Amino acid sequence: MNSFAQPTEVYSQTNRVDRLLDVEQLDDSTLVGVLNNFPVPLNLNFTNSSDSIINQYFLFNLYTKHIKYIPLIGNVDSIEVLNLGSSFKIDNDFYFTTRKISRTDSVQLINIDNIPSNSYRTLYKKDGDTIEKITNFHIDIPGKDYNSFAFKNLNDNYISLFSINASSFYLIEYDINGIEIQRSNLISNAYNVKGIIQNPVDSTYMIFHSLNKVNKTDKNFNTIFSNISLKEQVTNRYFYFHYFKSEIDLNPIISGNLDPNANLDTLFLATVTIVNDSTVYAKTKKFIGLRTDDFSPDPEVNFNFIDGEFQNGNYYRAYSTEFCLLGVPNCTSKFRVFKQDSLNNIHWEKEFGGDAGYFQAKTLGLKDGSCIVFVLRTNSSTGDIDMHYVYINKDGDIVPGFLDVLGLDELEIPMKETFSVFPNPANATLSINNQKLENKAVQLMISDLSGKLVIEQAFEKTIDISGLEQGTYLYSVKDINGQISSTKFVKTDQ
C-alpha cells in the first residue's frame, strides 16, 4: 500500500464550502456534474445578492481539459438549490433537480429544519454544452429535502422520493416531462434513506433507510413489507449500510458496517438477498480489515464509506480511516481507494492523506478502467473546506495534473426558454405558467403525440380543452420572433 503525506490535488479552492454533489461520465470525453459553493455561516448579504452563486453545473472535456461552469443564480425573490442525491443518467443524458427557496429563508440552508416547507422542484437536463429546464414540479404536498433521491426506473421514468419530514415520504413516478404517473401512500418511520433499488425481474422497489432497515413495494408502490432489519447471513449480525446510488439491480452490492464485535471486522461489501417477507440477508462479498488504531466501530459513524462505482466489471471504492466532521479543525485522517473485480480480486489499493481531515465526495470509475476520487479536505488549523482529487490510471498508477484546466468558461450561459401549463393533468381548462413567454406569444397549437394538430388559434392564456379525448398532448406557443416553445400535458375525463 502506497502512503503519501500530501498526495491530493486542488480541484476547487475558495473561502467557501465547495461541495461536489455528483459527477458522471457520459461518453469517452465528457464528465458532467453539479456542485454547491457557499460561505459558512450563510448571511443575507450573500443570499440576497443577485451575483451570488450557490450552485453550479459543469462540463469537463477529458481530451481538451476544458471546463465550463454554468451557475444557477435564481431570480430576485428566490434561489435554486441543488438536491443532493437527485441527479441521474438516462443513456448519455444527465438530469438533476433543484428546489426553490426564498432569499429571506436561504440563510437557514445550513439547517434544513428551519427552512419553510414548499412543493416546488425543477428538473434540468444537459443539452449540448448548456442545460435545459425540462419542467417544474409543483405537487400538492409541502415538503422538505431530508431525502431527495431520484433515478431512472425500468420504464425510463423518473422516480423521486419526496419528504414531508425527516422520517416520512412519498415515492412519486414522473415521466421525463414532469407529468405525474403515480405516487405511493405516505411511507412513515423511515428515517435517513440511504438509497433505492428496483429489481429488473419483478419491478419491485427496495428502500434502504434508518441504518439497517429495508422496505419493499411492488411496481405500483403497494407495500410488501416494512422495516425489516438487514443482517449478515452467517453471523446474523446487523448490517448498517451507507449511502449508495439508487439504480436498477438484481443483486445489488452495497457497503456497510457490521454490528461491532471484538474482532473489529467492521467494514465490508455485501450482496443483498431477500429470503422471504420477514428476512433480508447481506451476504459477504469482501471484508476490509481495519486496524483498531484508525477506525471507530460505532455503526452510527456511517459516513466513513461512501459507496463507489461499478464500471466494466470492476468496483471502485474509497473510505476514510477516521471520521472527521467537515469544517472541524485539528482532525486528521487518511483515505484508501481500491479496485476490485467481480470475482472479488483486489487489483490495487492506495492510501492518501494524513495531513488533514478528508471526506469522500465521489468515487468515479471511468470507461477506460481508471478512476477519479473527489474528496473534501478540511484545513487542520482553520477549518476551511476545499475540493481535492486523486486520479489513478487503469494500471493503478497515480497520475498528477489530470484535471489541470487548460480552458475555462465562467460566464453565465442562458438556459433555454421553458414553461409549464396548469393544471396538469387537466380536464376542462388549461393555462400557461410563464409571464415572460405569455407577453410575447402570438399563436397557440395543440397536437397529439402522432403530430396531428387538434387546436390552432391566436394565443390566449387560458383555453378550453374539454372537447379533447383523454390522452397526452403537446402544447406549443409561437412568439413574435417565430420561436416555438413546447411542453406536454395530460387530458383526463374527470
For the chain, which residues make up each domain, given as ranges? 9-409, 427-491
pLDDT of residue 2: 29
* Cα separations in angstroms, 117 against 96, 121, 144, 193, 317: 20, 12, 5, 19, 35
No. of H helices and E strands in the chain?
Answer: 2, 37
Q: Do domains 9-409 and 427-491 have the same CATH topology?
A: no
Task: Show the 3-state SS of 190-214.
Answer: CCCCCEEEECCCCCCEEEEECCCEE
Closest Cα partner for 193 from 207, 177, 176?
207
pTM of the model: 0.68
CA-based nearest residue to 365, from 345, 337, 346 = 337
**Cα separation values, 279 from 208, 216, 255, 274, 331, Å:** 14, 12, 19, 6, 40
SS3 89: strand
What residues have CB less than 8 Å from 137, skipping those under 6 apart? 97, 119, 120, 121, 122, 123, 160, 174, 178
Per-residue cell: 180? 405525474
Q: Which phi and psi (to 5°) does residue 94 adopt? A: -120, 130
Q: What is the dihedral of CA 141, 147, 150, 154, to 10 degrees?
A: -90
DSSP 132: E
What CA–CA distance (Å, rounded) separates 252 from 384? 36
Whether the CB-CB separation of 282 and 230 falls below 8 Å is answered with yes
- Locate 387 and state its grid cell: 475540493
134 vs 93: CA distance, rounded Å:
12
- pLDDT tens across the length of the chain (494 residues): 222 333 455 444 444 446 777 888 888 888 888 887 666 555 666 666 666 667 778 888 888 877 787 777 666 666 777 776 678 777 778 888 887 776 666 555 545 455 555 566 777 888 777 777 777 766 666 666 555 677 889 998 888 888 777 788 889 898 877 778 899 999 888 777 888 999 999 999 999 887 788 899 999 999 998 988 888 777 777 887 777 778 888 878 777 777 765 444 555 666 677 666 666 766 665 554 443 333 444 433 333 445 566 677 787 877 776 767 665 667 777 888 888 776 767 888 888 888 788 877 788 888 888 888 888 787 656 656 777 888 888 888 888 877 765 544 544 433 445 677 888 888 889 988 776 677 788 899 999 877 788 999 999 989 999 999 988 888 888 888 777 777 888 898 87
197 φ, ψ to 5°?
A: -125, 135
The pLDDT, as a whole number, for residue 364 is: 87
- What is the CATH number assigned to the segment(s) 9-409? 2.130.10.10
Sheet holding 223-232, edge to edge: 239-241, 253-258, 267-276, 279-288, 223-232, 213-217, 205-209, 195-198, 247-248
Give the pLDDT of residue 4: 31
Phi, psi of 490 (to 5 degrees): -110, 130
Among 3.30.830.10, 3.40.50.2300, 2.60.40.1930, 1.10.390.10, name the CATH number for the domain at 427-491. 2.60.40.1930
Residues 6+ apart with CB under 8 A from 168: 186, 187, 188, 189, 190
